[in-house]
C-alpha cells in the first residue's frame, strides 16, 4: 500500500478525457477566430476594389473576367489577369472615342470570325486603311479589283450560296440559258448595290457569257465579304462599305476606264454610272448598245436626256415594269422598313405618330407595315390619285408643315429633292427619327444640318444625333441615304424577281435586231414581265389555269399571253 502511495495513484480516465476535450475546443475556437479575421480582411479587400482602391500585389484577385467580358466570382487563387488603377492600366480608365469603338467591336464580333450579313452592317475589320492604298491579289494572281479585304471571300461565298436558295428562278434562268450564251461578247459595266443577291445576278450574267465590271451605287450598302467573293471569282469589283464621295466616283471610273476593255452595255441603279459615262466618256457612251435602269431616280434622268435629244442609245426602264413596281418596291419595302428601323433605333411602333412622304409603291409598303404594328400614320402627297388611294386605305393626307411638330418618325420615299427642308427640321420635336426610303440622298436636306451651331453625335453605326443649341435632338439614319440597304437587309426572294427582270432586259437589248429599239426609253415588254412572274410561281407550288380555245377567242388573247395590254394597271 505504501509502495502504491509512493508511486502515486493512477490518473482517473475521465479527467484525461476532459482535458483532451478542452484542448480540442481551444484549437477549434482559435481556428474560428482565424477564419473570422481572414473573412474580415477579404471583405475589406473587396470594398477597396469596389472603390477602385489599390490591392496588394500579393493578394489573389477575387474577380475574374471571362471570355465574354463578364465578371465572375472565384474562390480559388488565380493568376492575376488585370491590373488596377494604381498600376496605371488603361483598362480602368474611361475609354477614348477610339477606345470605345474598338472595345465595342471586339465584344460584339463573333469569336468564330463570322462575316455574316449582320456583321456586314457593322465594322467587319479593324483595319482602317483605305482599300485604295492596299495591294491585294486573289488566288488567280489578279489585282483588277478593289475591295475591303480579299481574305473575307470564303465568308462571302457562303452568303451568296444562301441567297441562291431563295433566288431559284434566277438560278433556273442561268441553267436554261448558259448553254446558248445569249450575252457572249457583252461587256457589261454595272453600278448597283453589292449584296449577296446582286452577286447572284452578276455571276448569272457571267455564266451567260458577259464580261462584267462592277461598282456600288451606295456608299453604305456594300457587303464587304460579298465584294471579296466576287473579286476572288474573277470579277472586277470596286466597292467597299463606307466609301467617301471621292472613293465612290473613283470606283465608277475604274470600272469604265480600263485599257483594252470598253463597255457596250450599262446596268445602272440610280443613274450615276450613266451620268459619269455620258459626261466623262462621250465616245464610249455613243457605242453603248443598251442601258438598263432600275430606279425612279435613274429613270427620271434618262427621260430628261431623251427629252433634250441627248440620249443616243436605247434604254430599258425596269423600274416601271410590273415585276419591279409591284414586288420590289411594294413587298420588299413593306418588310425591310421595319428591319432597318429596328436595327438602328430599337423603337416601338405602337402608338407612334409616323409621317410617310409619298404614297407610291414604296410609300404604300411602308404605310402598311407601320399601320399593322399600331402606328398612327399620316401621308403627304402631290398626286391627287395617290392621295385618294391613301384616304381609301385609311390614312390622313396632310401637308408636312401641318404635322411636322407632332411626328415621332418621318420617312421620305418620293424620289424628289428637298422633301424635308431645314425649316421643317428646325420645327421637329425632340427625339424625332428621320430617314429616307428613296434611292437618292437628296430627299432630306442633310447639307443644311452641317453648320457650326449644330452638333453631330454618332451613337452607333448609321445613327447620328443632330443636336440643336437648345438641346433638342433629331435622330438621323444613314445620313439620309437609303435606309433598308444601308442599315439592314432586304428579302432575297423579292430581289430575285428584280434581278431576273434586269437579266432579261440586258439579253433583250443586246440581242435585239437593229431598228427594234430607237434612241429612247422603253418599258419591259409585257410578255417578258409575265415570264419573270411565271419563273417564280413554282416556289409556291402555284398552278395557273389555262384558257380554252373558245375563251381565248372570246377575250381576243393568245392562249400563251400576254394576258394584259400595256396600259393595264395591276
Query: Which band of pLDDT confidence, cut at 50, 70 and 90, is reported for residue 105?
Result: very low
Within-domain flag for 64: no
Residues 366-371: what's their mean pLDDT?
A: 96
Which pTM does this prediction carry? 0.72
Mean pLDDT of the chain: 83
How many domains does one find in the chain?
2
- Report the b/e string of 311-331 with b at 16+ CB within 10 A: bebbbbbbbebbbbbebbbbb
Sheet strand arrangement including 353-357:
396-397, 376-380, 353-357, 409-412, 432-436, 473-477, 463-467, 455-460
Q: Does residue 69 carry a pLDDT above 80?
A: no
**Residue 367 sits in the same domain as residue 236:** no
**Residue 506 sits in the same domain as residue 451:** no
Within-domain flag for 409: yes
How far is it, in rounded angstroms, from Cα 359 to Cα 391?
Answer: 10
How far is it, in rounded angstroms, from Cα 192 to Cα 267?
Answer: 8
**Residue 304 sits in the same domain as residue 399:** no
CA 307 vs CA 85, 278, 299, 301, 521: distances in Å: 71, 15, 12, 10, 10
Q: Does residue 294 carry a pLDDT above 70?
A: yes
Are 502 and 268 in contact by the 8 Å Cβ rule? The answer is: no
The winner for highest mean pLDDT among 130-134, 354-358, 526-530 is 354-358
Q: Could you tell me what percent of the chain has a pLDDT over 70? A: 78
pLDDT in tens, 506-537: 999 999 998 899 999 999 888 999 999 999 99
Within-domain flag for 563: no
Q: Does residue 80 carry a pLDDT above 70?
A: no
Boundary of a domain, candidates 443, 460, 481: 481
**Residue 251 sits in the same domain as residue 387:** no
How far is it, in rounded angstroms, from Cα 118 to Cα 124?
Answer: 10
Closest-CA residue to 241 (of 481, 494, 536): 481
Whole-number pLDDT of residue 415 = 87
Boundary of a domain, candidates 481, 501, 522: 481
**Residue 313 sits in the same domain as residue 180:** yes
How far is it, in rounded angstroms, from Cα 136 to Cα 134?
Answer: 6
Query: Which band of pLDDT confidence, cut at 50, 70 and 90, is reported for residue 316?
Result: very high
Q: Does residue 553 carry a pLDDT above 80?
A: yes
Please report, for the domain that includes residue 502, its CATH number: 3.40.50.1480
**Residue 248 sits in the same domain as residue 340:** no
Residues 334-354: what's their mean pLDDT?
A: 94
Whole-number pLDDT of residue 120 = 41
Largest CA distance in the chain: 149
In 376-494, beta strands by DSSP E: 376-380, 396-397, 409-412, 432-436, 455-460, 463-467, 473-477
How far is it, in rounded angstroms, from Cα 524 to Cα 514?
Answer: 17
**Residue 523 sits in the same domain as residue 469:** no
Residues 546-560: what's their mean pLDDT?
A: 94
Q: Can you say whether the dihedral through the CA atoms of 506, 509, 510, 512 is positive or negative?
A: positive
The phi and psi torsions of 360 (rounded to 5 degrees) equal -80, -160
Residues 157-181: what's their mean pLDDT?
A: 93
Q: Does residue 103 carry a pLDDT above 80?
A: no
Q: Can you say whether the dihedral through the CA atoms of 417, 419, 423, 426 is positive or negative?
A: negative
**Residue 268 sits in the same domain as residue 375:** no
Q: Does residue 353 carry a pLDDT above 90?
A: yes
The winner for highest mean pLDDT among 14-18, 81-85, 155-159, 170-174 is 155-159
The alpha-carbon radius of gyration of the chain (Å, integer) is 34
Q: Could you tell me what percent of the chain has a pLDDT over 90? A: 68
Q: Kindly tell me the burial class for residue 216, based on how many C-beta atoms sit within 10 Å of its own C-beta (0-12, 13-18, 19 or more).
A: buried
**Residue 395 sits in the same domain as residue 519:** no
Residues 561-568: what's their mean pLDDT?
A: 88
pLDDT in tens, 389-442: 999 999 999 999 999 999 999 999 998 999 999 999 999 999 999 999 988 889
Q: Any idea what the Cα angle at residue 224 is, between residues 218 and 225, rounded to 5°?
A: 145
**Residue 307 sits in the same domain as residue 339:** no
pLDDT in tens, 31-52: 666 655 655 554 555 444 444 4
Are 420 and 447 in contact by the 8 Å Cβ rule? The answer is: no
Within-domain flag for 255: yes
- Determine the structural domain holding residue 359 and report its residue range: 333-481
Q: Does residue 373 carry a pLDDT above 60?
A: yes
How far is it, in rounded angstroms, from Cα 493 to Cα 78?
Answer: 53
Please report, for the domain that includes residue 453, its CATH number: 3.40.50.720
Whole-number pLDDT of residue 37 = 60
Whole-number pLDDT of residue 479 = 94
Q: Kindly tell me the burial class for residue 144, based on how many C-beta atoms sit within 10 Å of its own C-beta (0-12, 13-18, 19 or more).
A: middle
Within-domain flag for 311: yes
Are 312 and 519 in contact by the 8 Å Cβ rule? The answer is: yes
Within-domain flag for 38: no
**Residue 284 sits in the same domain as residue 231:** yes
Length of the chain: 570
What CA dihedral angle connects 232, 233, 235 and 237, to 10 degrees? -40
Residues 537-549: what's their mean pLDDT?
A: 94
Q: Does residue 110 carry a pLDDT above 80?
A: no
**Residue 394 sits in the same domain as residue 263:** no
Within-domain flag for 524: yes
Residues 16-31: what's their mean pLDDT?
A: 58
Whole-number pLDDT of residue 325 = 84
Q: Does residue 453 carry a pLDDT above 60?
A: yes
Within-domain flag for 369: yes
- Report the b/e string of 470-498 with b at 16+ CB within 10 A: eeebbbbbbbbbbbbbbbbbbbbbbbbbb
Are 489 and 335 in contact by the 8 Å Cβ rule? The answer is: no
Amino acid at each position: 500500500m505504501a509502495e502504491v502511495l509512493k508511486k502515486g495513484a493512477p490518473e482517473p480516465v475521465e479527467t484525461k478525457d476532459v482535458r483532451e476535450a478542452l484542448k480540442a475546443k481551444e484549437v477549434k475556437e482559435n481556428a474560428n477566430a482565424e477564419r473570422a479575421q481572414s473573412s474580415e480582411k477579404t471583405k475589406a479587400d473587396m470594398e477597396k476594389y469596389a472603390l477602385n482602391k489599390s490591392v496588394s500585389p500579393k493578394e489573389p484577385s477575387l474577380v475574374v473576367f471571362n471570355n465574354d467580358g463578364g465578371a465572375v466570382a472565384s474562390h480559388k487563387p488565380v493568376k492575376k489577369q488585370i491590373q488596377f488603377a494604381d498600376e496605371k492600366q488603361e483598362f480602368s480608365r474611361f475609354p477614348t472615342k477610339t477606345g470605345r469603338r474598338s472595345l465595342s467591336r471586339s465584344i460584339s464580333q463573333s469569336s468564330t470570325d463570322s462575316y455574316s450579313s449582320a456583321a456586314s452592317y457593322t465594322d467587319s475589320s479593324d483595319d482602317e486603311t483605305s482599300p485604295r492604298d492596299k495591294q491585294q491579289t486573289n488566288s488567280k494572281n489578279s489585282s483588277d479589283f478593289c475591295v475591303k479585304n480579299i481574305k473575307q471571300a470564303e465568308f462571302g461565298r457562303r452568303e451568296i450560296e444562301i441567297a441562291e436558295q431563295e433566288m431559284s428562278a434566277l438560278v433556273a434562268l442561268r441553267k436554261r440559258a448558259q448553254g446558248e450564251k445569249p450575252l457572249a461578247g457583252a461587256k457589261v459595266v454595272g453600278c448597283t448595290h453589292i449584296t449577296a443577291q446582286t452577286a447572284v445576278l452578276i455571276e448569272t450574267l457571267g455564266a451567260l457569257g458577259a464580261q462584267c465590271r462592277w461598282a456600288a451605287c451606295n456608299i453604305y450598302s456594300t457587303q464587304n465579304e460579298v465584294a471579296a467573293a466576287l473579286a476572288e471569282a474573277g470579277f472586277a469589283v470596286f466597292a467597299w462599305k463606307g466609301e467617301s464621295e471621292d472613293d465612290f466616283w473613283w470606283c465608277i471610273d475604274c470600272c469604265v476606264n480600263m485599257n483594252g476593255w470598253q463597255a457596250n452595255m450599262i446596268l445602272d441603279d440610280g443613274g450615276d454610272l450613266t451620268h459619269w459615262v455620258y459626261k466623262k466618256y462621250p465616245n464610249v457612251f455613243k457605242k453603248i448598245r443598251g442601258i438598263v435602269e432600275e430606279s425612279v431616280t435613274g429613270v427620271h434622268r434618262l427621260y430628261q436626256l431623251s427629252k433634250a435629244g441627248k440620249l443616243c442609245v436605247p434604254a430599258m426602264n425596269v423600274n416601271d415594269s410590273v415585276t419591279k413596281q409591284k414586288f420590289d418596291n411594294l413587298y420588299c419595302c413593306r418588310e425591310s422598313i421595319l428591319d432597318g428601323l429596328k436595327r438602328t433605333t430599337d423603337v416601338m411602333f405602337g402608338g407612334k405618330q409616323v409621317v410617310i412622304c409619298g404614297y407610291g409603291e414604296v410609300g404604300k409598303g411602308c404605310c402598311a407595315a407601320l399601320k399593322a404594328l399600331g402606328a398612327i400614320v399620316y401621308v403627304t402627297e402631290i398626286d391627287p390619285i395617290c392621295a385618294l388611294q391613301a384616304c381609301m386605305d385609311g390614312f390622313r393626307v396632310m401637308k408636312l408643315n401641318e404635322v411636322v411638330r407632332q411626328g415621332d418618325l418621318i420617312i421620305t420615299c418620293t424620289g424628289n429633292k428637298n422633301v424635308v427642308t431645314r425649316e421643317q427640321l428646325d420645327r421637329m420635336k425632340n427625339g424625332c427619327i428621320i430617314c429616307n426610303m428613296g434611292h437618292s440622298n437628296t430627299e432630306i436636306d442633310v447639307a443644311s444640318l452641317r453648320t457650326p451651331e449644330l452638333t453631330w453625335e454618332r451613337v452607333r453605326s448609321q445613327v447620328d444625333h443632330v443636336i440643336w443649341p437648345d438641346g433638342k435632338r433629331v435622330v438621323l439614319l444613314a445620313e439620309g441615304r437609303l435606309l433598308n440597304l444601308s442599315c439592314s437587309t432586304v428579302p432575297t426572294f423579292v430581289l430575285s424577281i428584280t434581278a431576273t427582270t434586269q437579266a432579261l432586259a440586258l439579253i433583250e437589248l443586246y440581242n435585239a435586231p437593229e431598228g427594234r429599239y430607237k434612241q429612247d426609253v422603253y418599258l419591259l415588254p409585257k410578255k417578258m414581265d409575265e415570264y419573270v412572274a411565271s419563273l417564280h410561281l413554282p416556289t409556291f407550288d402555284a398552278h395557273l389555269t389555262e384558257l380554252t380555245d373558245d375563251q381565248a377567242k372570246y377575250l381576243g388573247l393568245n392562249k400563251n399571253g400576254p394576258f394584259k395590254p400595256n396600259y393595264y394597271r395591276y
